[in-house]
């Protein structure tokens, strides 16, 4: 039996042009071949248009090849055609779960190039919003990771909290996902009346409900059996891939831009960084929950520090950055977000390179998937937190 006919026998109805490399094991009637399983681009476990091609022996994954780019929207090119104010509305879209944090990086980079002094209150507000945004993002992943392991309820609970927080942020910014609240030199408008009080109340409520998540998910025997020791990532490999955020912290390294390279006013307050031990899926989830709590702590501290004052500064009629280049790295919810902003002195950036955390994190997935079972593959996919738009930009 020729190889071609074997292939057709094993993969009936597959599209032409798919690259299989079949390894035939055994002889005669007992000959078997690896199965190629294409998970995605539209698969429940990929939450977005992300595809991963698995070469499988039974249910065991022999190798994995992520295929990305289904959602490439060319933000880096688009940014070169928009001036610095317009970019704000553009960059909060690549990672749609952390719109505010994305804007923040660009705002900081432009301000750095223009050597702009941002009022204190604006900086505190930015921190407050960034941390709430982080809580929003992490709650989403708390729900979705549990959902991928088959627990349906945490998703609903997470959305209950998210709804409250989004409602509050909508009052201040007018947006629920794409806030566009930052601008060069500060934030768009001051906080509405009662925002700080609502913030304080919500931290209490959210902290109380975090206990439920710990009980329901972290304390669950099946959850532990499914995640402990699954997809363990050594620290050096993680660093070599450029993996950051909760996925890196789970390996035991407390690397967090807010601590190691403080921006805004993070240097003035205490930023707790949760760390794991083994870098496995359980630790990643543990760090995720820990980061929510850390964010709530930070919000409480910000509420103590925030004072009256202006929230933005008068900009020149034409926002122009002087010639030069800078690199701003901020701690996005999913990891470290870097913006390389190079200007030729014009109104638009000459080059805006986005270093998105998801892109680097997803690179580590083939390493983690080698030799695991399909259910574990889903646990790995769910615990290396990524947003597809953040990978493809």
Partner 1 sequence: MSGVLARRDRALTPEETEELLRDRLGEAAVVGSVVEYGVFTLRIAQEHWLEAARRCRDEPLLAYDLFDNLFAVDMREEGFDVVTVLYSTSTGNRLVLRTRCAGGREAPTCPSISDVYRGANWMERETWDMFGIEFEGHPGLAPRILTVENFEGWPLRKDFHLVSRGVKPWPGVKEPAELDEDGNVIERVPRIGDAPGPYELDKVIAEQAKLANPVPEPVTAEGGNVEELAQDADLASDSGQVLTSADEQAAEEAEAQASDVAADVAGAQAQDLEQTAKDKAEQRRREQAEARRRKAEERAADADDAGAAPDQEGNA
Partner 2 sequence: MIELTSASATAFVAQAVSVFDVGDGFVVPLLLKLVFILAMFFVVPILGGYLEHKVMGRMQDRRGPVEAGPFGSLQLVADGIKFIQKEDVIPRAADPWVFAMAPGVALVPVLLVLLVIPIGPGVFALDLELGLFYALAISSISTLGILMGGWASANKFSLLGGLRAAGQLIAYELPLILAAAAVALQAGTLSLVGIVEAQATFLIPGTDINLWYLFPQLLGFGIFFLAAMAELARPPFDMPIADSELVFGYMTEYTGIKFAMFLLTEYAGMIVMGGLIAVLYLGGWQLLPGVPLPGCEGAGGIFDCGWQGQLLGVAVTLGKMMLIVFLFVWARVTYPRLREDQLQRMAWLVLVPLALLNLAVITVAKVVF
Residues 292 and 314: their CA atoms lie apart, in Å, by 35
Question: By rule CB under 8 A, what count of residues binds partner 1?
Answer: 51
Q: Which is nearer to partner 2, 60 or 82 (CB)?
A: 60
By the rule CB under 8 A, 106 interacts with partner 1 = no
User: Three-state SS for 351?
Assistant: strand
* Contact window for partner 1 (CB under 8 A) among 194-202, 291-299, 318-326, 369-377: 318-326
User: Three-state SS for 141?
Assistant: helix
Helices and strands counted in the chain (H then E): 16, 10
Neighbours of 207 (CB within 10 A): 14
* Contact window for partner 1 (CB under 8 A) among 55-63, 159-167, 280-288, 334-342: 334-342
By the rule CB under 8 A, 336 interacts with partner 1 = yes
* Contact window for partner 2 (CB under 8 A) among 92-100, 165-173, 219-227, 270-278: 219-227
Task: Give least dist CB 38 to partner 2, A.
Answer: 8
Spatial neighbors of 372 by CB under 8 A, at least 6 apart, are 60, 61, 230, 231, 380
Please list every residue from 156 through 215 that binds partner 2, using CB under 8 A: 156-157, 160
Residues 52 and 65: their CA atoms lie apart, in Å, by 6
Residues 320 and 361: their CA atoms lie apart, in Å, by 34
For the chain, what percentages of helix, strand and coil (3-state, to nearest 5) are there?
A: 50, 15, 35
Residue from 33, 149, 306, 388 binding partner 2 (CB under 8 A): 149
Q: Which is nearer to partner 1, 85 or 167 (CB)?
A: 85
By the rule CB under 8 A, 234 interacts with partner 1 = no
Residue from 4, 12, 30, 208 binding partner 2 (CB under 8 A): 12
By the rule CB under 8 A, 241 interacts with partner 1 = yes
Residues 386 and 361: their CA atoms lie apart, in Å, by 7
In residues, how long is the chain?
393
Contact 273, 77 (CB under 8 A): no
Residues 232 and 280: their CA atoms lie apart, in Å, by 4
| Site for partner 1, rule CB under 8 A | 68-69, 72, 74, 76-78, 81, 83, 112-113, 236-237, 239-244, 253-255, 259-261, 273, 316-318, 324-327, 329, 336, 338, 340, 342, 346-348, 350-351, 353, 355, 359-360, 363, 367, 392-393
Catalog residues that contact partner 2 under the rule CB under 8 A.
Answer: 12-13, 35, 37, 43-45, 59, 146-153, 156-157, 160, 216-217, 220, 222-223, 225-226, 373-378, 382
């Amino acid at each position: 039996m020729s190889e071609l006919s074997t292939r057709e026998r094993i993969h009936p109805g597959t599209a032409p042009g798919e690259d299989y490399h079949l390894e035939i094991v055994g002889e005669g009637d007992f000959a078997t071949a690896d199965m190629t399983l294409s998970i995605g681009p539209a698969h429940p476990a990929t939450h977005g248009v992300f595809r991963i091609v698995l070469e499988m022996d039974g249910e065991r994954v022999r190798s994995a090849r992520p295929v990305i780019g289904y959602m490439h929207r060319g933000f880096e090119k688009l940014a070169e055609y928009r001036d610095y104010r317009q970019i704000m509305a553009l960059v909060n879209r690549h990672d749609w779960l952390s719109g505010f944090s994305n804007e923040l990086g660009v705002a900081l980079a432009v301000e750095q190039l223009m050597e702009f002094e941002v009022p204190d209150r604006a900086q505190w507000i930015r921190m407050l919003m960034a941390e709430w945004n982080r809580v929003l993002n992490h709650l989403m992943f708390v729900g979705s990771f549990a959902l991928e392991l088959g627990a349906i309820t945490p998703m609903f609970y997470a959305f209950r909290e998210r709804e409250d927080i989004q409602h509050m942020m909508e009052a201040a910014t007018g947006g629920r996902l794409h806030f566009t609240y930052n601008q060069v030199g500060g934030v768009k408008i001051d906080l509405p009346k009662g925002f700080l009080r609502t913030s304080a109340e919500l931290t209490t409520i959210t902290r109380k409900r975090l206990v439920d998540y710990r009980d329901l998910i972290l304390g669950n025997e099946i959850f532990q059996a499914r995640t402990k020791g699954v997809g363990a990532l050594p620290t050096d490999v993680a660093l070599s891939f450029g993996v950051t955020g909760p996925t890196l912290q789970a390996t035991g390294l407390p690397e967090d831009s807010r601590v190691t390279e403080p921006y805004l006013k993070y240097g003035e307050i205490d930023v707790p960084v949760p760390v794991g031990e083994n870098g496995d899926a359980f630790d990643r989830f543990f760090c995720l929950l820990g980061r929510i709590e850390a964010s709530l702590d930070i919000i409480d501290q910000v509420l103590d520090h925030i004072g009256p004052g202006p929230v933005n500064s008068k900009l020149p009629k034409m926002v122009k950055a002087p010639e030069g280049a800078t690199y701003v790295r901020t701690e996005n919810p999913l990891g470290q977000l870097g913006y390389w902003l190079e200007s030729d002195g014009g109104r638009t950036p000459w080059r805006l390179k986005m270093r998105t955390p998801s892109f680097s994190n997803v690179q580590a997935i083939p390493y983690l998937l080698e030799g695991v079972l399909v259910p574990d593959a889903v646990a790995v996919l769910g615990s290396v937190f990524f947003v597809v738009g953040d990978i493809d930009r």
